[in-house]
Structure 1
């Protein structure tokens, strides 16, 4: 096991551009007792055995930067971005250290320093400033992808080998992208779907950005299920990206702007609950109030917003049972979304729903709540480590002899599809979002 180097005296490393002490919450940093309970839960530590790739090691580095004893340099950046942000360490931590907020602060410090040194790179500026904050542009990209699929370009590129002109990580991951809903299908969506029975609640469905393009039918299945159990469902027009991608990438200001837009949109909608079906989005939505600790007015509005946020598994488990009409006869295993299990503490409800489907046999895999290696865009930015973690995950999946891997997050779903391909199990197994599987039984 490697250990962190001793920090040199502050006078040797002090950097005028290093963010000041108040950039980090020192109470949160000092709560870490370096006990090591987090080590077995950390995917990158398990894969490498490196202390700087563990939660306590990264916190030690943050402490060094916060105290101006270490610089924000390439090595610090590498260690912070090697983290998947799965937050399994939070579940394991006896001291309740909020590691998720610490790693976001560290990445923001990295990005702020890079901007002050060289400015924001063009590609990063396009992604975080010009694409994800604009739902219409994301839908336009989705339409372009649908057109490429409809024209057979995706299949042609794979058959002819042209796909190899893409970077390896993109070439491999595209194989797990299934058919995109057409613009015509998306236009048929009703903005207000009335409950199929006496309405219990009026809910606003948080559709997400990528989710509503690549998994449009899953959003529709979610709305149908909520209708079935007595919910009026509203597709709130002015909603935007949840901001999780920005926050995890150190672009906290952009994340806050997106949070404000969502808070305003759902305030105007006047719904009882704000329901989402993506574990990563849900974790961000439920933490909006933490993003406004320096803004009392917006923090109060964020707390009111957060009080209404529910994961769809969470809400469905509380409502009257769904009247299923089909028997599926499937052997199913469930892969916990990290941000659903560790970020929101939702573990039993998805399993309860799966057991309620006629004919479904739920088989638990070993380490079901360990990260699959997706982690937002980690499987693109840290491809080799991501695939290493995925291959180990698939060993646990194969031991269940399941027909279906079920998960509750779009990134996990794409990653598990890729895992099935890498393991050569396409003929025997599929990966499905839990809402789609429940919808099959209606």
Structure 2
């Protein structure tokens, strides 16, 4: 229940943390509407659109309406995909407004006990300590390989869990031990450039083989790859979930680790992480001058692996698939890679340059797949609506391989393939795994 005291504190928090000038940048033109998945999938409900949410934020800030459950629902239902930003002619910083609003709401409202417990485990333990993430994935590995997974499925134990969790269990990748050693420099085959590699938390555990492939591809293209030893989670999940202070703590640790050596680039292989890393200067804008300058330096060097691979000239070489028969592929954009980092051409150009690979453009590939971090767990109904519509277009491509560039998107697309019964002739892959497996 939202009390009068909470309403007053949220209004005050909005006044302190949400800049009025940013709210007034919105001209209510409506260019954002067709780009917004929740607006489209909620039967064009204005309160589920970017300009509608901005209007609600301003109304609460100005005291025109009280903060209540309907306002909270609107803010919660937003995917945070930021597709509205490239569509906006006024350059409204919607992502910043959303994070600030969620930060205030999270701080000033009383979440249910279960949610509080889940947040504490996730943000104070799992994403704050990489060893904790490794312990969890070790348990998943044991579950997969001990026969427990087979037994659980046969006994129907999964039927007691929500449908989305049951389906996600089927698409969790086989957990492999990471062979990437922190603190090491992996020498490139030639000396083009030196990069620092951000391994990520999910990528370093659940997708360890993709991290190995990333280093291999960079070495092949002439990069010395340094892996900073004590790096931590980028802070994206915390920042997007109203835990900005925890995100800032992680950012400060990463600044210290990654700026300890001079490198040309700080490279990542997860679109969501990369977007957040590239905005550390915004995240730390209120810190002291020296720290802000470090954040600007860090953000300016941050680059997605696909963009770097493209810039290093991979498409100028003769690329031929190892497969003897042609393979048809399509590509689903990572929202944050496209809308925040503005990387959209590089992945496509790489795929188009490979002999024996037939690239088919996916209609609506610039629209969110419904993953959005943990959105598919917190808002399963809307997430599955979006995914099911997405899979209609995927079906039309008749692709054998669905490529993407972010772990959450990859799991979501694997889930879509499973839900559609396509797993016997279609698979989802990270672009770097595709390059490593099919070309190198």
TM-score using structure 2 length: 0.93
Please give the alpha-carbon distance, in whole angstroms, between the structure 1 residues aligned to 2:23 and 2:101. 11
The DSSP-based 3-state class of the residue aligned with 1:379 is helix
The DSSP-based 3-state class of the residue aligned with 2:358 is strand
- In structure 2, do the counterparts of structure 1 residues 85 and 116 end up closer, same or farther at CA, with 3 Å as the change threshold? closer
- Of stretches 352-361 and 118-127 in structure 1, the one that deviates more from structure 2 is 118-127
Give the alignment partner of residue 59 of structure 2, picking from 52, 55, 64: 64
Give the alignment partner of residue 19 of structure 1, picking from 12, 19, 35: 12
Match of 1:28 in 2: 22
Please give the alpha-carbon distance, in whole angstroms, between the structure 1 residues aligned to 2:266 and 2:123. 24
1:19-65 C-alpha deviation (Å, 9 max, x unpaired): 34121011111000111111111101101111111001000010012
- In structure 2, do the counterparts of structure 1 residues 284 and 215 end up closer, same or farther at CA, with 3 Å as the change threshold? same
Give the alignment partner of residue 299 of structure 2, picking from 294, 300, 306: 306
Match of 1:217 in 2: 209
- Of stretches 119-128 and 229-238 in structure 1, the one that deviates more from structure 2 is 119-128
The DSSP-based 3-state class of the residue aligned with 1:332 is strand
Match of 2:108 in 1: 113
Contact 1:327–1:358 at 8 Å: present in 2 too?
Answer: no
Give the alignment partner of residue 134 of structure 2, picking from 126, 136, 139: 139
Give the alignment partner of residue 316 of structure 1, picking from 295, 298, 309: 309
Please give the alpha-carbon distance, in whole angstroms, between the structure 2 residues aligned to 1:41 and 1:96. 14
Contact 1:169–1:383 at 8 Å: present in 2 too?
Answer: yes
Match of 2:33 in 1: 39
The DSSP-based 3-state class of the residue aligned with 1:18 is helix
The DSSP-based 3-state class of the residue aligned with 2:402 is strand
Contact 2:180–2:211 at 8 Å: present in 1 too?
Answer: no
The DSSP-based 3-state class of the residue aligned with 2:109 is helix
Number of aligned residue pairs: give it: 429
Please give the alpha-carbon distance, in whole angstroms, between the structure 2 residues aligned to 1:102 and 1:17. 14
Q: How does 1:162-181 map to 2 (within 5 A)?
A: 162-181=157-176
The DSSP-based 3-state class of the residue aligned with 1:336 is coil
The DSSP-based 3-state class of the residue aligned with 2:333 is coil
Calculate the aligned-residue CA RMSD, in Å.
2.2
Give the alignment partner of residue 228 of structure 1, picking from 220, 226, 236: 220
Please give the alpha-carbon distance, in whole angstroms, between the structure 1 residues aligned to 2:274 and 2:175. 23
- Of stretches 293-302 and 425-434 in structure 1, the one that deviates more from structure 2 is 293-302
1:309-361 C-alpha deviation (Å, 9 max, x unpaired): 11011111111326656433210000011001111110100011112223111
Please give the alpha-carbon distance, in whole angstroms, between the structure 2 residues aligned to 1:364 and 1:118. 45
Match of 2:432 in 1: 435
Please give the alpha-carbon distance, in whole angstroms, between the structure 2 residues aligned to 1:120 and 1:44. 23
Match of 1:404 in 2: 401
- In structure 2, do the counterparts of structure 1 residues 359 and 26 end up closer, same or farther at CA, with 3 Å as the change threshold? same
Which structure 2 segments of 5+ residues have no match?
none
Give the alignment partner of residue 90 of structure 1, picking from 71, 76, 85: 85
**Where has structure 1 moved over 6 Å in runs of 4 or more?**
116-120, 187-190
Is residue 391 of structure 2 the alignment partner of residue 394 of structure 1? yes
Which structure 1 segments of 5+ residues have no match?
1-10
Match of 1:79 in 2: 74
Is residue 151 of structure 2 the alignment partner of residue 156 of structure 1? yes
Please give the alpha-carbon distance, in whole angstroms, between the structure 1 residues aligned to 2:205 and 2:86. 32
1:115-172 C-alpha deviation (Å, 9 max, x unpaired): 5999982221121112211011111111111111111222322232111222322111
- In structure 2, do the counterparts of structure 1 residues 376 and 120 end up closer, same or farther at CA, with 3 Å as the change threshold? closer
Match of 1:251 in 2: 243
- Of stretches 338-347 and 166-175 in structure 1, the one that deviates more from structure 2 is 166-175
Give the alignment partner of residue 363 of structure 2, picking from 362, 366, 387: 366
